Amino acid sequence: MPMNFTHRDIISIKDFSKDEIEYILEYAKRMIPYANAEKHTTLLQQQILATLFFEPSTRTRLSFECAMHRLGGNVIGFADPSGTSLKKGESLADTIRMADSYSDAIVIRHPQEGAARLAAEFSDVPVLNAGDGAGQHPTQCLLDLFTILTEKKKIKGNNVVLLGDLKYGRTVHSLAYALALFKADLTFVSPETLKMPKEVINECKEFGVEPVSTTNLEKAIKDADVLYATRIQKERFPDAEEYNRVVGSYKVDNTLLQQAKEDLIVMHPLPRVVEINPEVDATAHALYFKQAFNGVPVRMALLSLILGGKKL
Amino acid sequence: MKELKVTPIKDGTVIDHITPGHALKVLRVLKIPESTSSVVSILMNVNGKKGKKDIVKIEHRELDPKELDKIALIAPKATINIIRDYEVVKKHIVEIPNEVVGITKCSNPTCISNAREPVESRFHVISKDPPRIRCYYCEREPEDIAEGII
């Protein structure tokens, strides 16, 4: 059934129904030949995307910019707020009002939770959340779902192991919610001090999914269809000592993967530090670089849907 | 023999049916004693028709609607009686609104609503009994609503 996303803000995965997410993922599949430059389009010609990155980013920013260029549009913005009026004390609200008048859509990454929601209040053009502190990162969630869907042909029924920093990691919170919405089986593996917050577990239960929580990766890997590893993010820890105690708790390497199913896929939102040994890159399990590429077709689908271009 | 624990008040407000143990939180949200020099009486764990309850009596002060909303978040079953010359002239059963704006601040220190931005705090009420609210901006749920009351 056709759906209208024109002018819609993309702030939280929770703003979308299952049908809407499926629609976006299906549309993203049609973007792949444009994303890898087999085909070309000028769908968003004359349209301008403002990318406001108040926090460092590699993949998210580049893939948004790549997506806009592949659709024939233009990009303005900054990757580092140090050269902007924010250093002079300008409020986020005022920065957004300015970007709103210069562009047709705004992508924002900000260190404070709720920043994208606030930005959407002060903007007439649609706002896409590219990560707000330890909060939401809906486009990452969509590309993760897209990766599972394209590799496994379905999301429901897959046993997905979420590994690492499940307490502070923003991607795993949104992803756990979305996977539960799609009725995937969930296993949460983390150090005792970085367990998945209760409110996320309760949300999963509301969808009828009973996640299993454990500290034992060796055991969890045996039945996994998807292993989603995350970095233990130093920048999110309020206490350096707490970080030092848990960094390097888990390492995915070929010895561990010998115990896994042959068709297990290993995903990671990247950047990785020590969680995945580079020796895994050469195995058929390694999906994280393809996952990073998938950011382009998924973000192309979103931009094209919200900017109301004719469909490809 | 009936034992009179606290005498009736001549003018003011009686907050009845407060969740047992929450009377002191109600006082905190009303900023008592800082905001008033009136006589305030507190009864805790009083046996009522529907079980135990707390009661607060504030002399010479009538609560305004915004204060009622605040109380609703702390004591969702409370009733507010406005007393004039020993008579109940107004009775109000508190009701939690669907959205709470500018009443309680987000407990998340890195929520954008706590930054220097031109917005009021805003929460969706996700459960009325027991009261549970979720920040419109950062989507977090405060553990203790009373802590954040502005």
pLDDT tens profile B29-52:
888 888 778 899 999 999 988 889
Looking at the fold, whether A147 and A288 belong to one and the same domain comes out as yes
Determine the Cα–Cα distance for residues A206 and A200; give it in Å rounded to an integer. 10
Looking at the fold, whether A127 and A39 belong to one and the same domain comes out as yes
The reply to whether the predicted model has a pTM over 0.80 is yes
Residue A3 located in a structural domain: no
- Inspect the interface and report whether the beta carbons of B111 and A113 lie closer than 8 Å: yes
A160 and A225 in contact (C-beta within 8 Å)?
yes
Looking at the fold, whether A150 and A69 belong to one and the same domain comes out as no
Q: How many CB atoms lie within 10 A of CB A97?
A: 14
Looking at the fold, whether A113 and A30 belong to one and the same domain comes out as yes
Looking at the fold, whether A114 and A184 belong to one and the same domain comes out as no
The one-digit pLDDT tens for each residue of chain A (312 residues) are 668 899 999 999 999 999 999 999 999 999 999 999 999 999 999 999 999 999 989 999 999 999 999 999 999 999 988 877 777 789 999 999 999 999 999 999 999 999 999 999 999 999 999 999 888 999 999 999 999 999 999 999 999 999 998 988 878 999 999 999 999 999 999 999 889 998 899 999 999 999 999 999 999 999 999 999 998 877 767 778 877 777 778 999 999 999 999 999 999 999 898 899 999 999 999 999 999 999 999 999 999 999 986 677
- Inspect the interface and report whether the beta carbons of A113 and B119 lie closer than 8 Å: no
Establish whether A59 is a catalytic residue: yes
A55 and A287 in contact (C-beta within 8 Å)?
no
Looking at the fold, whether A148 and A120 belong to one and the same domain comes out as no
- R_g (Cα) of chain A, nearest Å: 19
What domains are there in chain B, each with its CATH number? 12-93 (3.30.70.140), 99-148 (2.30.30.20)
Which residues of A are less than 8 Å from B139 in CB distance?
A: 12, 14, 113-114, 135-136
Q: In what order do the strands lie in the sheet with A74-78?
A: A74-78, A48-53, A105-110, A127-132
- Inspect the interface and report whether the beta carbons of A113 and B118 lie closer than 8 Å: no
Confidence of residue B143 (pLDDT cuts 50, 70, 90): confident
Determine the Cα–Cα distance for residues B108 and B114; give it in Å rounded to an integer. 8
Looking at the fold, whether A248 and A277 belong to one and the same domain comes out as yes
Residue A149 located in a structural domain: yes
- Residue to substitute from A9, A110, A113, A201, interface B, most B β-carbons within 10 A: A113
Which residues of B are less than 8 Å from A118 in CB distance?
A: 112-113, 117, 119, 137
What percent of chain B is modeled with pLDDT above 70? 96
User: Counting Cβ atoms within 10 Å, is residue A273 exposed (0-12), middle (13-18) or buried (19+)?
Assistant: exposed
Looking at the fold, whether A142 and A278 belong to one and the same domain comes out as yes
Looking at the fold, whether A189 and A46 belong to one and the same domain comes out as no
- Inspect the interface and report whether the beta carbons of A92 and B115 lie closer than 8 Å: yes
Looking at the fold, whether A70 and A96 belong to one and the same domain comes out as yes
- Name, in order, each residue with C-beta under 8 angstroms of A95's C-beta and a sequence gap of 6 or more: A52, A84, A85, A86
Greater model confidence, B134 or B6: B134
Q: How far is CA B111 from the centre of its chain?
A: 24
In this prediction, residue A182 carries a pLDDT of 98
Establish whether A88 is a catalytic residue: yes
- CATH code for the domain of A189: 3.40.50.1370
- Which structural domain, as residue segments, surrounds residue A248? 138-292
Task: Indicate the number of domains in chain A.
Answer: 2
Residue A6 located in a structural domain: no
Establish whether A60 is a catalytic residue: yes
Residue A8 located in a structural domain: no
Looking at the fold, whether A196 and A266 belong to one and the same domain comes out as yes
Is residue B74 pLDDT above 80, yes or no?
yes
Structure tokens at A284: 């058929």
Distance from CA of B112 to the nearest CA of A (A): 5
- Name, in order, each residue with C-beta under 8 angstroms of A167's C-beta and a sequence gap of 6 or more: A190, A193, A194, A195, A196, A197
Looking at the fold, whether A142 and A226 belong to one and the same domain comes out as yes
> Does B107 reach chain A within 8 Å, measured CB to CB?
no
Determine the Cα–Cα distance for residues A116 and A20; give it in Å rounded to an integer. 20
